[in-house]
Each structure stands twice: as C-alpha cells, then as structure tokens.
Chain A
Amino acid sequence: MTATIPVPADSSPPPVDGVSITVDGVPMTVPKGTMIIRAAEQIGVEVPRFCDHPLLDPVAACRMCLVEIEGQGKPQPACAVAASEGMSVKTQRTSEMAELAQRGVMEFLLINHPLDCPVCDKGGECPLQNQAMEHGRSESRFDLEKRHFDKPINLSAQILLDRERCVSCARCTRFSEQIAGDPLIELFERGSKQQVGIAEDRPFDSYFSGNTVQVCPVGALTSSQYRFRSRPFDLVSVPTVCEHCSSGCGLRTDVRRSTVLRRLAWDTPEVNEEWNCDKGRFAFAHAATPEFDTPLVRGDDGILHAATWPEALERVAEGLADARGRSAVLTGGRLTLEDSLAYSKFARAVLGTDDVDFRARPHSTEEADFLASVVAGSGLGVTYDQLENAPVVVLAGLDPEEESPIVFLRLRKAARKRQLPIASIAAWATPGLGKMFGTLLPTAPGAEGEALSALARGGDTLGSDGRRIAALLNEPGAVILVGERLATCTGALSAAAALAHTTGARLAWIPRRAGERGAVEAGLLPGLLPGGRSLADAQSRAEVAAAWGVSVDDLPTKVGREVDAIVEAARAGAYNALVVAGVDPFDTRRPDDVIAALEAVPFLVSIEVRPSAVTEFADVVLPVSTITQRAGTFVDWEGRTRVFGQVFRTSLALTDARVLAMIADELDRPVGRQDVAGMRKEAAALAPSGSGRREVPSVAASSVSASSGQAVVSTWHHLLDEGTLQRGDDDLAATARTAVARVSAATARAAGLTDFVTLSTDAGSLDLPVVVTDMPDGVVWLPTNSHNSNVRRVLGVDHGAIVSLASGGGA
C-alpha cells in the first residue's frame, strides 16, 4: 500500500490560453488570468506583499506590491492586475517608481506599528519585520504619538487580537468569509480607527479560526495556546500528518525543549492546501505527556504494578500461551498503517484467530462487506482535486464540516468558485451544508438506503431536487461520499454501491478517524487480509503468508467475529484472552456490554498510550508511543498514503508493532523486528494483487419509525466534542458548538416540547435544549459525544435507534 503511487487521474486543469509578458525584462508565458505577483514569483522575484494570499481573492488594500507597468502613469498593485499580452512589468528591482511606491507604503505601515517586536510572537517569522528590513527606512520619520488600543482583546476563547499591530490587510476577515464561510470577524470603524472585531455576543467560534493566526502577516492575531510561549528561532519543526481525522492534513509540528508548542497547517496543495481545522491545530495536549513510564502487571492484590518489560512480556506470554484460536484482537481508530498491519499479522499468524476488528464504534456486517469489497485495496480513489472538479457530489450520512473538515473546505471552495452542486442525504440542513450552498434531500435515519435507491431510479420520489441530482450523477466524474454512520443504516451502503454502479459515479468512504482507512487496508476486519484480500481465498492466504514469512497453515481459515460478536463471545467465555489497543468502550454502541466483556475475559492485554477504561481491567498494560514519539503512515480517505516523521527522535517509547514483535518472540512465534522501515517494506509486499475480492453487499433497505412519544435518533459527532484526543485543551473546547436536540415543529408539538427535552432509553436519559428545525417528523437529532449529550455512553443507543421524548425541566 505504501507502494501505491498517487496518480491524480484527471486533476490537471484544462489547458488555458497563455499570454506573453516580461517581468524585469525577463520574457515569460503565463496562463491568462495570472496575477503579476504570481508571474514574478516564477522567475524568483518576490514583490513584497501583505494582503495578497494566493488562495484568497485579491483585495489590493495594502498597496505594498505596487509595480510599474509600462504605459501606465501610476504604479499598479501586482496582486490584482492580471497579466495581459505584451505587458511589460517592472518590479522594485528595475523600476524606481515601484521602489519608491513600496518604500512609501512601508513607511506608512510602520508609523503606527508598535515597537514591540521583542515580545511579539511573530518576531522572527514576521512578514512585516522581514519586508521592513528589505524595503523600509532604518530610522522612522514619525515622531507623533502612535495609535493606541487596549491589547489584547479576545475574538474567541482561543484567538486574541492586538489591534495596534494590525495592518488592516484583511487576510483574516477574507479567510473567514471566503474559505471557511464563517464571517464572524469583520473590519469595523474607518480610517486609522479601522479594526477587526466581532459582533456582540458572537465570538469567533469558527472551526477554522486558527488559520487566521497563521495567515496574519503581523502579530495581530495570536492563539491563547502559543501566545508568549516561544520564539520561532528556538523551535524545531517537523513535518507531520494530523491524527484527528481521515482528511490527511499535512502539518508542521513545532517543538522546543521536548514540548510541542504549536502545530501549523503545512502547505499541501493536493490535500489541505494551506489550511487545517482548529482540532488539528490546537488539540495536541493528548500527546504531550505519555502517562505510562513502564509496563504494568496486575498483581495478586488485584492492583496494577509497574513492571520491567521482560516481566511484563513473560506474563503476556503466559496469558496468551493457551489462547491460540481462543482469542480476539480489538483495535481502535488511532493506529498507523504500520501498526494496523502488525495487529493484522499478530491476530492471524501468532494468535491464529480471525476475530479481529478495528471498528470500536457502531458497525454492521454489511459495512464489513462494503469495506472489504469496495474500499480495501482500491488504492488512491476519489481525490480532493476530483471532488473540486466533479459535476455533482452527493453526501450520504456525512456532514463534512463536522466529520472531515478539509473535505468541507474543498467542497465549499468548489461550490463558491464553480457552483458545484452538492446534495446531502440527512435529516436536516446543517450549517456546513449551507456554507456549501448544498441541497438537502431530507431523509429520516434509517431511510438513507431508500433515498440512495431513489436516486438510482431517477430521483422522482425525492422531488425536483432529487431529479436534478440524479441526472447529474450520470455525468462523468460525479462523486458519492458515504460517511461512517451509514454502517448502522441497513441497506444504505449496499444502495450506495448500487447507485455508483448504476450511474457510473465514483464512490468514496470517509471515516471519521485517521487510522480507519489504513486499518481496512491492513485487513483489520474479520475475513479480510491486507491489500483487500479475502481470508476465504486460498491464493490470498498464500500471498499473505509468504509476505509475512509464516506457513500458510498458521493462518486461520474460519472467518472470524466482528466487534459486537466478539463482545458477546467474550462475555460467554469463548476466549482465553483479549488483546485490546486504542479502544474507548464509550465509542461503542453498548459501552456496558464492552466493559462486561473486558471484565469477563480471563486474560486481557491492553496496549495503550494512557490510562483508559480498558487499562482498568487489563492484566497487563504495555505502554506504546504517542503520535509525537513515532514515525508512521496514515492512509487518508482518498487512499493516499500520508507518511509522517518522528517529532521526538530520542524517544525510547515503542510502537505497537515493536511491542507485538516482542510478544511474538516471547511466544516463540517470531514475526521479525517490525520497525517502521520493516513494516513499510511489508506493506509494499502486500500491495493489492487483485486476488480474493469479496462480493459487494446487497442488503435490502429497511426503515425504522417511531410511535407516539418516541422519535428515531439521528446523530453524528460535532468536530469539537468530548473526544479523547481533545482532552486538555480548554480554550479549544470553549469554542465547541453547544449541544442541542433538534426536532421538527410537529414533533415538538406532539411531544409537548417547549424549551427542553428529556430523551430516554432503558439505559439512561439526557436533558437538552430544544431547537425546532426543518426536518422529518418523528426524528430527534443530537450530537453523539458532546458535553451533556453522550448518546452512546448515557443512552446506550446510536443513529437509527428509538428514544422516548418528554418535555424536560432544563439542565
């Protein structure tokens, strides 16, 4: 899989007419419409700039990039004048007019700028500082009093504004309005009083607010997280990949004295362009301090005690000695591709079991079949570029803004720039859908499969929007994106596959977690081997055994159990041991059952980063490295391999793969060293060969309906919620969306709901504020894992389940 070379099939832009120009006497041909500032960059001439940003619409406000264009009496802004045939441009290098104009603007920019560079976060990486050195005076001619503002002020819990430093370039406001679609900050007042601000009681709670700090060309915007923490020249920067979701963002992680101080979006044109979301930017405290220094072994006193690695491994070997064929492996979504491969091999070759599943969340057999047949081994499929250039994108069970924010940004870009039609099969039109100018095909939970089938039949039953979208789906390049929650909508994934087949549209699965696509590629599903191979297929087994260097007879032949079945089997005493890694029981549909299983199993090995609900019951806890202590690979939703480096190179913490190798050695079933390089070689050897693909599922759609006093739950995660990896970032959490319950007006009326609703199941109840929303009747939506709204943990149900509604008393 690492051998999969991304081949962007039709991502190259259509040929554009070229125009011939000269810049500083150098002739060049550039595509029509190219701004002069971009053309100059092509010959290495940097025209100074502040407001210009290649991904934002030009504004020509700062006037720093003034250049001379032959035949024009006045200098012109290079950022906003498109090259035209025969144009002769002279920059500051060859034109006195341009040079003088730029020096004049620079003088103006500095007169009111405070001289606090020595304490400014931006000092050392500041475009104003750098360009002032290049184009400014060494001494100021300004001896009046500088402009004063109170400093700093909060735009949100995590974004602070120092108005004295602002040069009014409007990059932040344009980013928020154009890219994120969250125009929560705006320029106020006029003239020299002009300043960025927010509306009263409406803080800058955008999921993408951190990007404004990064694009600010001065130190006006800072994050509460990084403010006054470091100087850029004291930082060591490592290119990394975000661990929070399957978007695959390239990041830069900045470290000083063994501490991660900040993360930035790394320029990755094919994936996240120059942006990322606030979760990816600010939520890294989870990796800051590994909680375990040593392995832990449960003593006769029932308490976990620190142990040496040899002691712990010996204990694991004892516990697993009679577990071959009577054990299961549960992994979560945090794993790298390398680690997933190691678990896949460990389960099959060492433990001799196919009871292995990465889906520590609601799931179904239909989903496993879908992943095995449609996703696994499919390589680089639909890409971001293809999304951007598609004739239509249908979202089924996916709210990109909440679940894959970079997909959201790319879809919004296409919708804004080229009116990409986007349709969402969901219960209500989310803010994100509005920002993508998308169309809702209103669908109650459980009816997603039927809606997809209706599109395959021409969309007639979905009204005029449905017919329009259905017609567009037949156009070449159309895309269907399915989200994680379709797993629990019976027949939906089958219907999506059938719709793609009928229309020729391309289909992509966008999981929420960074490790899920890699886990599918690694075969962490019952019956699925690496590279999309099937366990049931002899040829596949032979290929995999050869790559793993084991006898084919060591591999199980019986297709194993899925998570829910493993949990049941464990409670029924079917296993001697469980190996669990990166699983949070509260992410699963029935957390109580999972915990009961962990308690019931005779021997539990937990391979974990930090204490969790699993380690509480473990017989042995083997600590592994955090994301910053290891190198690795994530496979993003596109199927693109995203390789990242080790931030803390001197860390002695071990990866999951290394720990599994040591256990295997202890069990006398050696699997090799399993270091990162070795695992990547193994991944290459296991590249899809085409053998043993499973059948695409064809499960009939079924729907659920609620009787009086009840409603069908529609739920998905907010981007910022009570997820494990967001712990420890209070300012980030303060920008999260408030949990509310949404119902239609009729549903609210029928249940007598006014301000609050109490949702209950036999497991528990939740009290939430009610927001009446245009959505199907008999449905209630609430966020899956937000503050006061932990659907799985408290209600023990998930998307598509029935809950009781009653008027609530308030929280």
Chain B
Amino acid sequence: MIKFPAKHFEKIFDESPIGKAIVGINGNWIKVNQSLCEMLGYDEAELLKMSFQEITHPDDLEVDFKKMKALSSGKISHYLVEKRYIAKSGSFIPAFLGVSLIKDDQEKPLHFISQVIDLSSLKKKETELNQLAEELKVRNDDLANLAHITSHDLQEPIRTMVSFTNLLMEKKSDQFDEVTLKSIQFIDDAAKHLKDQVKGIMDYYLLEKEDASRNWIECQSVVERALQSIHALIDESKAEISIQNLPKIHADENQMNILFQNLIGNAIKFTKEGSKPHIVIKSEEQATQWRFEVIDNGRGISDDDQTLIFQLFKKAAKSEYRRGSGIGLAHCEKIVKNHGGKIGVSSILNKGSKFYFTIKKPK
C-alpha cells in the first residue's frame, strides 16, 4: 500500500470545498476549515469560540443530539442528516451534515468529525421547481377546463346547425334547386363531423379528469355491449366477429367499453376494398396481467404510421378514412394507461393488423 505523507491529509481537510470540522464531545468547534467559515460567515477565530449548538436552527437540534448520542454509545458508526445552520448574518443555511466519531485506544470517544455540504443553491432550485410544478398544474387544470367548457359551448351551435339542416331537408326539400340541396347536405355533413370531433375532445379530457373506477367485470358482456353500440357499422359492413372466451377482469367498465368500441370500430372501418371484415377478439391470462388482442384482416398500417396513430389528432398519412377524428386511439392509449397496461400494434400492409393491450391485475 502506498503511504501518503500526513500533509496530504491536512490538505484534504484544509482545502476541501466541503465544510469540515473537528468537534469536541461537548459540541465546541476544535478545528474548522476555510469552506465551513465561508459557508457560515464567521472567521476561524470566531467559530472556535463557539459550539455547533449555538449556530444550529433550534428545531434541528434534537435530531442532532439523538444521533450524536447513538454515535457516542456505539449504536451507529456515523450519521447523515439534513439541517439548518444559522450564519453570522442571521440567515439559515440548509446543509447536509455527515458525522463520524474518533475514539482513543480505550474506545473512549475523543471527538467528532463533521463534514458539511451547503445545500442553499440546491434548495433554491428545488423551490423554483416546486413553484413551476405548481404553476404547471394550475395551467393544466385551466386547459382541461377550457377544453371542457369550449366543447360544451360548441355543442349548442352545432346542434342548432344540424336541427335546421334536418328541418330544411325534410320539410322544404321540394322547394330547393339541386345546388341549394347539395349545399345544405354539405353543411349537414360538416356539422356532424364537427360534432364528432368536439365530442371526442370532450371525452378525452373527461377521461383525463376521472380516475378509473375498477370493478370485477365480465369482458364478454362488455364486448357485447360495445358491439351493440356500433351495430350500424357492423351491419353495414357485414363484419364477422368472433369472440374467444374472454375473462372476468378488474377494470373500469365504461372505459373498457369505449376501448373495445374504438378498436373493433377501427378494425371494421379500415377494411380492405372488396373484402368482408373478419375480426377476432381474444385474450390470454398472464401472471400479472390480462392480454387482449383485436385482430383484423384489413388493409394494415405502415411502419411509419404505427407510431403516429396513437397521438392525439394524428391520422395515418394515407388514410382514406378522412372523417376520423384522430382521437380514438389516443383515447384507447389513455384508457390502457389508466389500467397500468400497454397498447400496441403489429401490422402488415394489405394483410391486416393486430392491436393488443394489457390490463394489470390487482395485487
């Protein structure tokens, strides 16, 4: 082993950027280094006339004493605490203190070695970060609120538009020329599209606000209800859907319903030209989770689009189904995350897609 000259160790003490001190058993400062003096605003001579008790925040004294006692009695070999010192200026200095004990040959405590790191700048940053986090939370709440209020307020004029276009088309259609009728039809389509979009935004934010309320639910009946909600789409497409023994799971029934509606709905919408959609829904129980798969024989999703489709308002670049709101899958991802699971897709263009998701089991 290399032997270092004693002055190396003196240098470690004297020139350390960390405050270091030798403290007597009674708490008086015996030897202090420059860093400690600078931290506390006292010069060496002043400090050496004092004890650590005099310059410790009164609320922090007790912890320090207890630990010192445990250290002296040999219960612990060292201790680390966060505490506040009182600088000469009177301000509190947050610090991290590490203390160990030096004993003589008879195992009698001689003095403490204290090492003190100034936490002022860290604490300042921590306060700033906490403030930012608080501001962010307020802004987020505002944003969710805004989305909710605007969606609500937007629904009313949209409803008005749809009511009147319906009225015009049903009651007065014989009085209009072709251009007028077609114009009304375009207004009607646009209003209905807008309505879906607005509802999507609202659902998304509602989901953000609400926590999942989990119960034991039969997936089979959840899926059946989901199919019922989109029966028009299923009838129109003549889709064949096979459901393979689904389990009873612990999840939010409403959210699971939305999840299945979206995934099955997508599987039907993105069907291949001229082919009947065939969809398989199956599940597998694993150690810590349930895994579900919704498999279709649709047109598939390109690799580039596979990452894009889960983002809010993003649609696949070449999507022919332009009337989509771009919300559905973002919604699904959120629901799955609410249930501590993962969602993903594997797909081959023109062959089909397999969407899978997992739901975490309760402990």
Q: A and B, one complex?
A: no
Q: Which residues of B contact A (CB under 8 A)?
A: none
Q: Which residues of A contact B (CB under 8 A)?
A: none
